Structure 1
């Protein structure tokens, strides 16, 4: 169920007020920080992978601690999955701006779309949970 025109106008007014009061915060909400977040997540996964290798090697060198090798392997596997999924989800440079230009030259439109999608998910969850 899409938002009514009144609800859309109210959200647009709130969005304009947010941009007027704190443009830096509004830009952060807009999704420009998503690329930074996913890049950081990939870097953390790479570091975790290296820690997993160290644990694996420690377990190989000291055979009485074979469980450390297993833990190291699991850490490596988990970090590899995190790195791959983070890398796939990362928007390409300029992708965020291109999406905003397609919506009439306003990057604020994408934030409005996300808010509307969240609202729709909540309504679907409430309707699904009640039946």
Structure 2
């Protein structure tokens, strides 16, 4: 279900506030490093798929069945890698699965986690206040 214009504006405001308050955290939430790695893996799988097609066609032209079978298997394996890699890619704004905010041991990380929590609390309070105001109309 798409967001209404009002909800989109509110989301944009929250994103701007997040970037203004803690740009490092906001950038970390984008997960660009993992997305780049996954995207590269998908591109490699597509290139491998094209090599598989070339092997398949070469085997057919040379009437060597085993080359065609190898080409088909390469195509199949690369297609599976591309599809699984695409599904595992984090969406923009989503935190990577391996990232743990405020990892133990680092006082700065704990302090940053507290700041994140307080910022999220404020955002949730504002959201609730706006919902309550809208519900009264």
Looking at both structures, which has the greater relative contact order when contacts are Cα pairs under 8 Å and sequence separation is at least 6? Answer: 1
Ranges in structure 2 where 5+ consecutive residues have no aligned partner: 1-26, 105-137
RMSD (Å) for aligned C-alpha atoms: 3.1
Check whether the contact 1:32–1:96 (CA below 8 A) recurs between aligned residues.
no
For residues 35 and 103 of structure 2, what CA distance do their matches in structure 1 show? 19
| 5+ long unaligned stretches in structure 1 | 1-26, 100-106, 114-131
TM-score by length of 2: 0.48
- For the 8 Å contact 2:31–2:90, the answer to whether it is kept is no
Residues 23-66 of structure 1: CA deviation (Å, up to 9, x unaligned): xxxx89x9541111100000000000000000000011111x21
Cα distance in 2 between the residues matched to 1:49 and 1:42: 10
Q: 1:83: how far off?
A: 0.2
Per the normalisation by structure 1, the TM-score is 0.51
Equivalent position to 2:103, from 109, 112, 115: 112
More helix by share: 1
